[in-house]
């Protein structure tokens, strides 16, 4: 996007740039708040997307317009923005907290980084986009705690005082597991681990997709037993989206399991994120939606190394929390065919019939019946809750 930088100092311009890095490479705010659309209107961060809520929380919410449009966009002051990002306060719905917006993770970003995000949002093109009203039940916002308590141990946040420009100290503080003990690791590795934890736990939302379920929705405690062990199921909300993605169902990969966890080399990890294709597969397949490769591919090599180092050093999950996480299942219909040897189960809208056995499991939630993969019942616990 063209940015409006008129009148900004060099330091302010640099801050806008780092804000862009956080928004577009690390956090992928556009995944929910709107990607650029062709034909005139850009739609970039202009909001409008609908998110259905579980019945206990209400009916639906809509991603807000984050562009600087004076009437329909982000009109919050810097202080209000900070408060919202750190506490989930929903100014539009008094007495409510933001429910889909992952503020419970972004609240751990350092204040300078949150202000960089704000500076970037103020510099992007304004767009008029009046977002529909949310339908949700009241739920109080949560004051920013003085220490980190979402994980197994409480940790000091190193606020103010100690400069922490890369979030390394913050990353250490917000790592949800009691271990690992890194005292024997070289300082360079400790540094990468801290930065990696910051990217994974404060900005990258890895936990919100790679832990199933990710956390207690009210108290916000992370499900540490299954931390990053994958198994969450994703189904495109409409047949049109499924058709455009050619995807019926995907499942997040087990990244932390002792035996089934992610074991690719650093080179393959970088290759996969940079190309958006799993380079370790015999025939590299596109990494399935909604894994945000389109954003993460823009991470610097050093940040990729930090994330990789973190994933390698995080203590392994075992037993029932170390599942095999299968490949995505392709969408099909009377007019959209399946890759051979699979055929289309038109009623289920998915490709079936691949050969299967203990060594080669079926795609996400499919059932291996007489050595052939079949569609699961829509009510199966795998489809409704994941692994
Ligand atoms: C998973 C989807 C999702 C992601 C990712 C996401 N948001 Fe949101 N955001 C929402 C939704 C939905 C709402 C409003 C309703 C709610 O959550 O209850 C919202 C609300 C907000 C608000 C409140 C605006 C207001 O006017 O009160 C701000 C600010 C915001 N988002 C900023 C961001 C930024 C900055 C990022 C990236 C760092 C981001 N969001 C990433 C879904 C998301
Ligand atoms: C919005 C949900 C979502 C988020 C956020 C997310 N992932 Fe994923 N991720 C997935 C899904 C789904 C898959 C499985 C894709 C497939 O099977 O093709 C996946 C796959 C992966 C893979 C395996 C890629 C391959 O095919 O070899 C890695 C590595 C990974 N994710 C790392 C991360 C990291 C690190 C983060 C945070 C920086 C992250 N993911 C954030 C959903 C997500």
Ligand number nearest to the C-alpha of 205: 2
Please check the confidence at residue 387 and state whether its pLDDT lies above 90: yes
**How far is the C-alpha of 231 from the C-alpha of 320, rounded, in Å?**
11
Q: Which residue has the tokens 């503080």?
A: 173
Confidence grade of residue 39 (pLDDT, cut at 50, 70, 90): low
More confident residue, 203 or 284: 203
Tens digit of pLDDT for each residue in 128-138?
999 999 999 99
Question: Does 306 contact ligand 1 (Cβ within 6 A)?
Answer: no
Q: Which of 101, 136, 202, 217 to mutate to test the pocket of ligand 1 (most atoms within 8 A of CB)?
A: 101
Asked if residues 229 and 254 have their Cβ atoms less than 8 Å apart, the reply is yes
Other Cβ atoms less than 10 A from the Cβ of 369: the count is 11
- Is the pLDDT confidence value at 145 over 70? yes
Mean pLDDT of 44-52: 95
Residue nearest to atom 7 of ligand 2 (CA): 291
Q: What is the CA(64)–ligand 1 centre distance, in A?
A: 6
Q: Both ends of the chain: CA-CA distance in Å?
A: 40
Tell me, what's the pLDDT at 261? 96
Examine the pLDDT at 41 and tell me if it is beyond 80: no
Query: What is residue 162's predicted lDDT score, i.e. its pLDDT?
Result: 85
Contact, 76 vs 92, CB < 8 A? no
- Which residues are within 8 A (CB) of 268 and not within 5 positions of it... i.e. 6 or more apart? 279, 280
Measured CA distances, 317 to 83, 88, 285, 382 (Å): 35, 30, 27, 20
174-194 burial, b at 16+ Cβ within 10 Å, e below that, comes to: bbbbeeeeeeeeeeeebbbbb
* Ligand number nearest to the C-alpha of 289: 2
Q: Which of 33, 31, 59, 53 is nearest to 131 (CA)?
A: 33
pLDDT, average across residues 332-357: 96
pLDDT of res. 161: 78
Residue nearest atom 36 of ligand 2, based on CA coordinates: 206
**Position 273 pLDDT exceeds 70:** yes
Residues 6+ apart with CB under 8 A from 269: 262, 304, 308
Q: What are 175-229's pLDDT values in tens digits? A: 999 999 999 999 999 999 999 999 999 999 999 999 999 999 888 999 999 999 9
Query: Which pLDDT does position 378 carry in this prediction?
Result: 93
Q: Please say if the pLDDT value at position 174 is more than 90.
A: yes
CB neighbourhood size of 130 (10 A): 13
pLDDT score at 281: 82
Q: What is the pLDDT of residues 235-262, one digit of tens each?
A: 998 899 999 999 999 999 999 999 999 9
Instruction: Give the dihedral of Cα atoms 32, 38, 40, 43; nearest 10 deg.
Output: 0
The better pLDDT of the pair 54, 252 is held by 252
What pLDDT does residue 284 have?
A: 80
Mean pLDDT of 348-354: 97
Cβ contact 236:247 at 8 Å: yes
- Of the chain, the percentage scoring pLDDT greater than 70 comes to 99
Alpha-carbon distance of 341 to 384, in angstroms, equals 28
With a 6 A CB cut-off, is 63 part of the ligand 1 pocket? yes
CA-nearest residue for atom 40, ligand 2, is: 206
The answer, yes or no, to whether residue 276 has pLDDT greater than 70, is yes
Return the closest-CA partner of residue 307 out of 248, 277, 262.
262
Ligand 2 atom nearest to 203, measured from its CA:
38
Chain centroid to Cα 225, Å, comes to 19
Which residues have C-beta within 8 Å of that of residue 228, sequence separation ≥ 6? 206, 207, 210, 211, 254, 255, 256, 311, 314, 317
Write down the pLDDT at residue 100.
96
Rounded CA-CA distance 332/199 in Å is 36
Q: Which ligand has its closest atom nearest to the C-alpha of 326?
A: 2
Mean pLDDT of the chain: 95
- pLDDT at residue number 213: 97
The pLDDT of residue 40: 61
Quick one: pLDDT at residue 280? 85
Mean pLDDT of 162-170: 93
For ligand 1, atom 23: residue with the closest CA:
64
Does 101 sit in the ligand 1 pocket, CB within 6 Å?
yes
């Amino acid at each position: 996007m063209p940015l409006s930088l008129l009148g900004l100092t060099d330091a302010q311009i640099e801050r806008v740039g780092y804000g862009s890095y956080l928004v577009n490479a690390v956090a992928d705010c556009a995944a929910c708040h709107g990607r650029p659309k062709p034909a005139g209107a850009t739609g970039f961060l202009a909001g409008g997307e609908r998110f259905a809520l579980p019945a206990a929380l209400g009916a639906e919410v809509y991603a807000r317009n984050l562009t600087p449009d004076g009437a329909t966009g982000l009109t919050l002051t810097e202080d209000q923005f900070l408060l919202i990002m750190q506490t989930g306060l929903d100014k539009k719905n008094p007495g409510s907290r933001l429910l889909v917006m992952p503020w419970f993770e972004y609240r751990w970003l350092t204040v300078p980084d949150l202000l960089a995000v704000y500076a970037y949002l103020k510099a992007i093109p304004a767009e008029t986009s009046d977002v529909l009203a949310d339908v949700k039940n009241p739920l109080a916002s949560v004051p920013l705690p003085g220490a980190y308590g979402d994980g197994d141990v409480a940790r000091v946040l190193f606020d103010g005082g100690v400069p922490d420009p890369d979030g390394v100290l913050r990353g250490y503080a917000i790592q949800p597991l009691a271990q690992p003990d890194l005292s024997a690791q070289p300082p360079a590795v400790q540094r990468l681990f801290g930065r990696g934890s910051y990217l994974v736990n404060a900005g990258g939302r890895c936990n919100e997709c790679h832990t199933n379920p990710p956390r207690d929705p009210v108290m916000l405690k992370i499900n540490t037993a299954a931390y990053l062990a994958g198994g969450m199921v994703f189904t495109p909300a409409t047949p049109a989206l499924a058709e455009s993605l050619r995807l019926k169902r995907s499942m997040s990969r087990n990244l932390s399991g002792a035996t089934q966890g992610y074991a690719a080399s650093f080179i393959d990890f970088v290759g996969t994120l940079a190309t958006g294709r799993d380079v370790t597969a015999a025939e590299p397949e596109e990494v399935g939606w909604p894994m945000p490769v389109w954003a993460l591919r823009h991470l610097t090599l050093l940040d990729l190394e930090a994330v990789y180092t973190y994933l390698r050093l995080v203590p392994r999950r075992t037993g029932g929390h170390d599942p095999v996480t299968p490949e995505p299942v392709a969408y099909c219909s009377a007019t959209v065919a399946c890759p051979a040897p699979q055929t289309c189960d038109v009623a289920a809208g998915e490709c079936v019939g691949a050969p299967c056995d203990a060594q080669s499991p079926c795609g996400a939630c499919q059932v291996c019946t007489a050595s052939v993969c079949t569609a699961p019942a829509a009510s199966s616990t795998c489809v409704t809750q994941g692994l």
